[in-house]
Amino acid sequence: MTILSLAHSTTSRIVFSLSIFTFCLGFTPIFAGAPPVGYLLNADKNLSYTTGAVNEAHAKELTAKELAAKELLSKESLNFVAIDNYAQRVPQHIATQSIPKLVAYLTKPATNDIEKARAIARWITSNIAFDFEAASNEKYRPSDNADSVFLNRHALESGFAALFVRMMHAAGVETFAINGLKKGFNFAPGDASTLKRHTWNAFRTGGKWYLVDLPVYKEVETDGSYKLAYADAFFCIQPEQMVFTNFPDDKRWQLLNEPITKEQFLTSVQCFGAYHGYLITPISHRNYEIFSKPRSLTLSFDALPALQLGARVYAEKGAKEQHASVKTQREGRKFTVHVKFPAEGTFKLEITATELIRERGTSEVVGCSVKTVAEYNVNIGDKQPRSMAIISK
């Protein structure tokens, strides 16, 4: 079994295997004219702070490639196998020449800007190593200059984002780096001191913005060695999903019609779905803490029909699973989970996603994968709700 830990957090507390599943839908930005202030990479400088004026006329005039991207993103699932394989097989003499020449090679088979972004993201996550030593050493930070990252092949989050910006600009796609906060696996709901500084990206095509995060995981094997793996679902992740894990300094980069506050971010449900490749959005209960006088609780989620949601109940974190009645029902993309708790008290409620594993090339089911996709702290009985947010100044 593999233990994955976010490279920008400390040790992992969740055991799971990474599934390969992507889901990418377009969304309309809530701001018009210039985008929020962010990092824009200039050709002759390091990352420079700018508002980056947007050419609205160009955004409205959809090219044939942008229309193709729009059609591609209207589908529920995307298949980037060909693009991924191509990006991971770049000849060494091209990969080490220069960023413009590498980008020209990577994007040659792309039919739209989404595929350009995918090829670039896949090359970066396959060839740039996360600097674990620097992540644990506050006195040393590697350069986040795109040229340095390209040359040295290792970086922290800001370096990944800077290189993505530079390569996307070389491909002719408007792209920004976004600074903010992220929940790692050691995040304690309600406690801002357990959040991590993080940098991710947004790019625009066809008049729409798409979010991309390039977190790198460290897979620790049973023999003590480790390798890197990329959380695939963070490519073109929906804003409604991203807001459970990432909180930008500029709220406009939430890309939501109604941006949430930092307190709402701190107290929201722990969502791990994206780390597993599952895009699951809580509908009924969006806060980590749930208070219910009745022992029965009903929760609803938006998820792909291919998944089957369930639940597990624990008396406390790491304790033996408690006997609880769990029933689920599905109507299209809406899943409803009914849980009857064994008694009054405080429980950890884990929402799980089960995916059937089929024999390659056949419909025969050979197993299943069960992963935790959300976690709640449930108080059953007469306890009154309390504010749990601890926001540092």
Is 357 a residue whose pLDDT tops 50?
Answer: yes
Q: What are the CA-CA distances from residue 248 to residues 62, 179, 243, 304 (Å)?
A: 28, 6, 9, 27
Average pLDDT over residues 53-72: 44
Is 9 a residue whose pLDDT tops 60?
Answer: no
- In this prediction, residue 219 carries a pLDDT of 54
What's the number of CA atoms in the CB half-sphere (13 Å) around residue 39?
Answer: 25
pLDDT in tens, 123-173: 999 999 888 778 777 777 788 899 999 999 989 999 999 999 999 999 999
pLDDT in tens, 364-378: 878 888 888 899 999
Secondary structure of residue 157 in the 3-state scheme: helix
Q: How many CB atoms lie within 10 A of CB 13?
A: 13
* Torsion of the alpha carbons at 346, 314, 221 and 197, rounded to the nearest 10: -20
Average pLDDT over residues 18-40: 38
**Where do the structural domains in the chain lie, given as residue ranges?**
3-268, 289-380
Secondary structure of residue 49 in the 3-state scheme: strand
Secondary-structure class of domain 289-380 per CATH: mainly beta
Q: How confident is the model at residue 363 (pLDDT cuts 50, 70, 90)?
A: confident
- In this prediction, residue 6 carries a pLDDT of 39
Average pLDDT, rounded, for the chain: 78
- In this prediction, residue 15 carries a pLDDT of 29
For residue 339, which phi and psi values (nearest 5 degrees)? -125, 130
- In this prediction, residue 89 carries a pLDDT of 95
pLDDT in tens, 236-265: 998 998 999 999 999 999 999 999 999 999
Closest among 35, 386, 277 to 176, alpha carbons compared? 35
Q: How far apart are CA 32 and CA 36, in angstroms?
A: 10
- In this prediction, residue 280 carries a pLDDT of 86
Contact 386, 267 (CB under 8 A): no
Closest among 147, 186, 385 to 285, alpha carbons compared? 385
